[in-house]
A = this chain, B = another copy of it.
Amino acid sequence: MKNFEFVNPVKIYFGKDQISKLAGELIPYQKIMLVYGKGSIKTNGVYKQIKTALHDKDIIEFQGVEPNPVYETLMKAVEVARREKVDFLLAAGGGSVIDGTKFIAAAIKYEVGDPWNIVVKNEKISNAVKFGTVLTLPATGSEMNSGAVITRKSCNEKLAFGSPLLFPVFSILDPETMYSLPDSQIANGIVDAFIHVTEQYLTFNMNAAVQDAWAVSLLKVLKTEGPKVLKNRNDYDSNANLMWAACMALNGLLTAGVFTDWSTHMIGHEITALFGIDHAKTLAIVLPGVLTVMQDDKKEKLIHYANNVWEIYGEDEDQLISEVIDKTEDFFKSLGIGVRLSDYNIPETAIDIICNKLEEKNYIKLGEKRNINPEIVKQILALRK
């Protein structure tokens, strides 16, 4: 196990009717900006619950954060928040709304230039407005971490940033808010969380017994409980298990003491930025390619994955690895997720464009061993036509 630091101060309220806890949490704040997306919170009852809990508070609303939240939109929120002297942001929605809120929180206090520098120049965030979240879509884990990804339309860039100042003060996870989500968003969420786990687990063996076993646990929960949710959308316990698994998948516990391989995410971000494909779907396209091409480096963990998550065994290691990658791909397909570029009408010629984009950004050394260069990305994507 390698040395690590771990801290995660986010307070979680989990369960039915927990949105009412907002009242107590927001006592210290005067002017709140409620940030949300297209407005599904108005049809699923979340908006009403928030307004009831905060009936005596001064709330400004900022509606319209997109999936893959866009810098241009978020800067409008920043402008309003600065003008209105907002002292707390409340994100209500899924990972996109929460990620967007993280950017707004940092950008409000970044007054020495264009807040895009935070993202593109990785400038250190020295101050941020405090914020909390009401999660309505389990997927990204953003509700319990300090990272975010945003997109700038004008240059087709989708980039990650983070800071210890960008942990939510609290996050409220009510599984009942999931009942009205479209099936496709549930499926995306399962795949996103699943791949968050594989990227922290399918690297090389660091003898990190707890982290490995917990990763296996989450993958098994996602593969068992995820389909249950899709089959019976109002089954409270399976919704709750999916929501908690997705939250635990990216809160720092699995990364502690091990090396990680975020190449699937990095390649996927380029596909989203260029072609507007849902984040989770890009991951489902890329992951089987990464595991296939990088299987020698990942051999020990892939066999561990085959045995422990999928309970398949075999003497022939190459055969076993091929089988478990197929199983993974089949799992994504069983959720209704396409796993090939062609499933989304992305032509083969896109592969070079994606690789060039990665190269431009110096994202040329991906993977747990920093050996996934553009040539290897080409090999990976060539398998995913």
Contacts and interface: CB of A to CB of B under 8 A. Distances in A.
Interface of A: 1-18, 207-210, 213-214, 216-218, 220-221, 224-225, 236-238, 240-241, 244-245, 248, 256-257
A225 to B, nearest CB: 6
Contacts of A8: 8-9
A15 B4 CA distance: 7
B4 A14 contact: yes
A9 B8 CA distance: 6
A210 B219 CA distance: 10
Contacts of A10: 7
Contacts of A12: 4-7, 256
10 contacts: A1-B236, A2-B15, A3-B18, A4-B12, A5-B14, A9-B9, A209-B221, A210-B241, A213-B221, A240-B257
Nearest to A144: B6
A114 to B, nearest CB: 32
A225 B245 contact: no
A175 B223 CA distance: 34
Nearest to A249: B210
A213 B4 CA distance: 24
A356 B290 CA distance: 64
A240 B1 contact: yes
A374 B298 CA distance: 55
Contact of A210 (B18, B207, B210, B217): B217
B244 A1 contact: yes
A11 B6 contact: yes
A56 to B, nearest CB: 23
Given A209-B221, A244-B256, 9 more contacts: A3-B16, A3-B17, A4-B15, A6-B11, A7-B10, A8-B8, A207-B237, A207-B240, A207-B241
Nearest to A235: B207
Copies in the complex: 2
B209 A241 contact: yes
A208 B18 CA distance: 18
A138 B81 CA distance: 47
A165 to B, nearest CB: 14
4 tightest Cβ-Cβ pairs between the two chains A and B: A3-B15, A213-B217, A207-B237, A7-B11
A105 to B, nearest CB: 19
A216 B210 CA distance: 10
A239 to B, nearest CB: 10
A311 to B, nearest CB: 12
Nearest to A13: B5
Contacts of A224: 209
A162 to B, nearest CB: 16
A58 B17 CA distance: 49
**Which of A10, A225, A244 gathers the greatest number of chain B CB atoms within 10 Å?**
A244
Given A213-B220, A218-B210, A6 B1 contact: no
B5 A209 contact: no
A209 B245 contact: yes
A169 to B, nearest CB: 10
Nearest to A241: B209
Nearest to A4: B14
A237 B1 CA distance: 6
A146 to B, nearest CB: 13
